[in-house]
Structure 1
Amino acid sequence: MSYIDIHGHYAWGIDDGVKDLEMAKKTLSIAALEGIDTIVATPHFTSGKTTKEDQEKMIARINDLKALASTYNIKVLQGCELMLNKDSDEAIEKGIYLPFENTKYMLCEYDVTKPTQSFLNHFDDYLRSVRIKGYKPIIAHVERYFHEGIDLDYVQYLIDLGCVIQINTTSVLGLGLPVHTQNAMKLLDANMVHVIATDTHQCEGRRVPNMQKAYDTLIDKGFSKTYAELLLSGNPNHLILNEEIEYPHYKRSFFARKFKH
């Protein structure tokens, strides 16, 4: 089975992700071994800080990544991870963003260091700028914004607004904070996850290409192969083809829910 990673910082030397060309080669080699055949390169764009000049540099480096990744039989598409904040209206009006290549989808995030209440109070307002421009927001690593436990009602509110919900493989694998894994499992059990991606930043450590490992872990935790394939391959494919996603409707067995967190 092959996978599509729609969130990763593989383009080297332009944000806090992969640092240099040699690390990029190692990271792509790992991605190929993990069965990833398509990547959306999503460097950080911070509203109010990223400039037009920065944007041009990032586009050039993504093009470098496309050429490099082709030698690993991996296709790379252009995108960004847009930090939404009080400057989002101006940044989007100026065109300082990169939607997924040839699609209506845009990966968006909020500052994970801020209190959960700040996310609840402001994020949907900031999403307005994205929606007005005709894009559908993909909410990056939603499990990381809830520091004391997930608010499923608010996530459902985001879904009702037309947002796509993404969680990180690190949360599935238990490589981050315990609360992030707990949040991710509750979202998965509630069918509120649409896509799982790696959020790759490096070639070793936690934030690496690890989609096959995430798939195996989902199966081990009692999720169906159909559900896992939808989140790691099916829906990511819909996104890059500019299609509507499929909304999951699966249940784990009672035994899995009780004993395999």
Structure 2
Amino acid sequence: MQFIDIHGHYAWDVDDGIPSKEDAIKALEIAKENNITTIVATPHVIPGSHTLDEIHELKERIQELKQLAQKQNIKVFEGCELFLNHDCIDSIQEGLFIPIENTHYLLVEFDVRKELGSSHEVEDFLYEIEVKGLTPIIAHVERYFKDGIDIDRIQEFIDSGYVIQVNASSLLGIHGKTVKKNAYDLIDEGLAHVIASDTHRCEGHRIPRLQETFDLLSKKYDYQVLKTLMYDNPEHILHDENVEDIEVKTSFFKKLLKRR
């Protein structure tokens, strides 16, 4: 199967992701080996610390990445990963961000070092983005819950129209047991829309490991569920269309346990 990776720090020397052009070339080669045909380059944007000129420079670097990727027959689209802090609304009003190319989708993140903040703060940020005509894609949701995923809260995000993205590295266990369980719980409950790589390096754990992730998940989930998560919904996003919900088949025995 082919994959579309909507979250990756492939653009080099602009954030904590790929450090050099040489490493970017290697990362693209790995992406090709993993059957990734399309990438959205999503450099970090920290509200309050970027100027319009710097946003323009990010876009120029993504264009350079696009040229490199042509050698691997990989398409590259522009985007960013917007850090949601108290300056984020001003940054959006001033155009200091990069939505996923030619769409109303915007990849956003909170501080993964901390537990997800209060509903008053977090949901207010997301709502303000929505008011601006954008749809938040919440990056690596599983990493914000240090004591286990809050299913009800995630359902509220989805009911509000937000898109839930899970990291392949979380499903592979790179971020620890709790984060791994959170990621699987999201899929099991039908509360994930997209799996992406969140690539930061060309070696080690944070590389484009989507084929490995697909092979692992294929032992547990139906092909169509994984195709929706790793190709169909990313494609919907690039086409500025609504994403599809997934429905994971649950055994009769598990359904009985849930009712108790």
Normalised TM-score (structure 1): 0.94
Please say if residues 27 and 209 of structure 1, whose CA atoms lie closer than 8 Å, have aligned partners that are also in contact.
Answer: yes
**Number of aligned residue pairs:** 255
Q: Which amino acid aligns with 1:62?
A: I
**Cα 1:255/1:178, change in 2 over 3 Å:** farther
Which residue number in structure 1 is paired with residue 32 of structure 2? 32
Tell me, what secondary structure is at the counterpart of 2:218?
A: helix
Other-structure match for 1:72: 72
Residue identity opposite 1:173 in structure 2: L
Residue 187 (structure 1) shift:
0.7
Q: 1:223 to 1:86 in 2, by over 3 A?
A: same
Q: In 2 relative to 1, CA 248–48 (structure 1 residues): closer, same or farther, beyond 3 Å?
A: same
How large is the Cα RMSD of the aligned pairs?
Answer: 1.5
1:256 is displaced (CA, Å) by: 10
The aligned counterpart of 2:217 is 218
- In structure 1, C-alpha distance between the alignment counterparts of 2:149 and 2:156, rounded to whole Å: 13
Alignment gaps of 5+ in structure 2: 256-260
Aligned residues with identical type, % of pairs: 45
Tell me the equivalent position of 1:139: 138
Matched position secondary structure for 1:212: helix
For structure 1, which runs of at least 5 residues remain unmatched after alignment? none
Tell me how far 1:114 sits from its aligned partner.
2.1
- The alpha carbon displacement at 1:132 in A equals 1.4
Aligned-residue offset at 1:80 = 0.4
Rounded to whole Å, the distance in 2 between the matches of 1:127 and 1:111 is 14
**How far did residue 151 of structure 1 move?**
0.2
1:23 is matched with 23
Q: How far apart are the structure 1 equivalents of 2:198 and 2:171?
A: 12
8 Å contact 1:224–1:252 — kept in the other structure?
A: no
Tell me the alpha carbon deviations over residues 207-258 of structure 1, each in whole angstroms, 9 at most, x when there is no partner. Answer: 11011111111112x111110111001111110011111111122557999x
Q: How many angstroms does 1:101 deviate by?
A: 0.5
Runs of 4+ aligned residues of structure 1 deviating over 6 Å after TM superposition are: 254-257
Q: Per-residue displacement from partner, 1:9-55 (whole Å, max 9, x unpaired)?
A: 00000000000010001000000000000000000011111221221
Whether 2:161 is the aligned partner of 1:201: answer no
TM-score w.r.t. structure 2 length?
0.95
Question: What is the CA deviation profile of residues 131-170 of structure 1, one whole-angstrom value per residue up to 9, with x for unaligned ones?
Answer: 1111111000000000111000000111111100000001
Report the Cα distance in structure 2 between the residues aligned to 1:232 and 1:43, rounded to whole angstroms: 20
